[in-house]
Amino acid sequence: MENLNRLLLENVLPAHVAEHFLARNLKNEDLYHQSYDCVCVMFASIPDFKEFYTESDVNKEGLECLRLLNEIIADFDDLLSKPKFSGVEKIKTIGSTYMAATGLSAMPSQEHSLEPERQYMHIGTMVEFAFALGAKLDVINKHSFNDFKLRVGINHGPVIAGVIGAQKPQYDIWGNTVNVASRMDSTGILDKIQVTEETSNILQTLGYICTCRGVINVKGKGELQTFFVHTEMTKSLSQGNVAS
């Protein structure tokens, strides 16, 4: 039973968070929370899936559309098992939007002891994961004769992570960093990864090329200068420097 509990918990919570609950005889009202100084947050959307989805008799009331969406999300989830993406944590899906994060380590206090470049490596991992999602979607498009495009927004900064709920615990992250990452997606462009200026600066120190989009109006945040991550550079990096 203990092994089953562990398996179930690790399916819905990050491993180190599951361990937190398994290691103690915690009551339901106990709240798990953890503050992080540097987490990279990604929202990856398929905006045209909403137009594709139809509830018609021919389409068995949307069943086939849901089957395809399930296939897409399941294929995205498969990427999480790759060693190079072991640091990527899926947070949740909202419709056809996939939310994930990196930098949610078991010991956030260790962040400051790392060299600056190593401290920010997980931001590069998040970008590589975003491009892997795009590649997966391309394969699905070929098999299903569709032309879905991914729109991605990424931002990094401080967040609070926690588990909400007792009977059905939900791990989630909160903060301005998350809100801005979501806006980077919603104001983005199909087939591109949009990032904030701060995230762009970090990515360029890691060897990525970012091109300035310019200043855009972001709801609730005012005017922000944003950047697109250069795809060709990222692909060459993923083939050369990042182990499979």
Annotated catalytic residues are 183, 219
What stretch of H or E contains 7? helix 2-12
What stretch of H or E contains 71? helix 63-78
**Distance in Å from the first CA to the final CA of the chain:** 35
Please tell me the number of Cα atoms within 13 Å of 51 on its side-chain side. Answer: 7
Question: How many helices (H) and strands (E) are present in the chain, helices listed first?
Answer: 9, 8
Q: Is 111 exposed, middle or buried (0-12, 13-18, 19+ CB in 10 A)?
A: middle
Please tell me the number of Cα atoms within 13 Å of 36 on its side-chain side. Answer: 28
Place of tokens 């962040």: 111
d(CA 39, CA 28) in angstroms, rounded, equals 27
Q: Which two tokens stand for residue 226?
A: 């944003």
